[in-house]
Amino acid sequence: MLLTSRKSIDNLGVRFRDRTEQIGDRELIQDYRLFRSDDFIENFFSIREVLEGHHAVLGGRMKRTDTIIRKLRREHNMKLTFMDDICGYRIIVPSLKTQSIFLETIEKNFDVKNIRNYVENPKESGYQGIHIICKVPKIMNNNDTPSTLTMEIQLRTHFQHIWSTLSESMGEQIKIGEGSSEERIKLNLLSEEINKYEKNNPGFAQIDLPKSVSSMSLDVIHYDKSRGKRIISESFNEDLQEALAYYKWLENEMSSNLNSEVVLLASTENLNLDKSHTRYFRKGGKPAIPSIFKNRI
């Protein structure tokens, strides 16, 4: 990685924010993501150990280059080294009660910097879930003193995850408060119904989830957003370097196609990816709405 300090990494982010990026800067962002890849795997193993033997699904992903750039431009005060979700993880649990238990477990086992509880206070869009920002010590190049970076763990019930997947299937504009009024009304109604149902039935098992196991699978997926369809899905077991090389190559190959989405995902078993990253495995990216909500929205 040619970036030698936290300041040089943040300056790279400023250039993208201000649309003054230079030739080679896109590759530098990919180099920074590569620099974080060891954290990505170490964090995954640490979270996996905490979940092992419990009924939960763990997934993780390295943030896509284009998504990093869009976030820098959308959130003008964002510094690249303070972007919490370069390394992002998602835990799906079967009930609201289990969600509370796992929140306490994560707080005990990780160095938590911040908790954003969107279950107690849903976002204006209707999004619900708990985002746990944890500190990650990292030695920067040419510096012997660890610098504090972060990772994000999303903790969602199955119903909360269904809402989020449905929202994602409608496009990124929903996240920033746009989209059609019909879409926003549908999402708000569903969010309200989920919130009400979970509070009245905190222990209800929304889905039969497997026990988390001590394994890891790395998968690179090429998803066509216009068709709502997976084009490529390649598994690499635990070979991170091979997965990263293929991910970077495919991402660059597809960079000019606005309908293409290339992602690197980690899971305890790739059979569970349809539960942690449902959008890539459902027709049109749309999840199945539970029958208890179908007549209410």
Domains of the chain plus CATH, in order, are: 6-169+179-206+214-284 (3.30.460.10)
In the 8-state DSSP scheme, what is residue 145? S
Using CA atoms, how far residue 236 sits from 37, 81, 217, in Å, is 15, 28, 7
Which residues partner with 152 through β-bridges? 88, 133
| pLDDT (0 to 100) of residue 82 | 93
* Average pLDDT over every residue of 283-297: 84
Q: What is the pLDDT of residues 139-181, one digit of tens each?
A: 887 676 778 999 999 999 999 999 999 988 887 666 666 667 8
Give Cβ neighbours of residue 97 (< 8 Å, ≥ 6 apart): 202, 203
- pLDDT tier at 283, thresholds 50, 70, 90: confident
Q: Determine how β-strand 112-117 pairs with β-strand 130-138.
A: antiparallel
Q: What's the pTM?
A: 0.91
Q: What is the pLDDT of residues 14-67, one digit of tens each?
A: 999 999 999 999 999 999 999 999 899 999 999 999 998 899 999 999 999 999
Amino acid in position 12: L
Q: What is the pLDDT of residues 236-256, one digit of tens each?
A: 988 889 999 999 999 999 988
- pLDDT tier at 211, thresholds 50, 70, 90: confident
| pLDDT (0 to 100) of residue 213 | 75
Which residues partner with 92 through β-bridges? 57, 156
**How big is the chain, counted in residues?**
297
DSSP letter string over 25-88?
HHHHHHHHHHHTHHHHHHHHHHHHHHHTTSB-EEEEEEPPHHHHHHHHHHSTT--GGG-TTSEE
Phi-psi sector, 174: left (phi>0), alpha (psi -120 to 50), beta: alpha
Q: What percent of the chain is predicted at pLDDT more than 70?
A: 94
Q: What is the pLDDT of residues 70-119, one digit of tens each?
A: 999 999 899 999 999 999 999 999 999 999 999 999 999 999 999 999 99
The H or E element spanning position 91 is strand 87-93
By three-state DSSP, how is residue 215 classified? coil
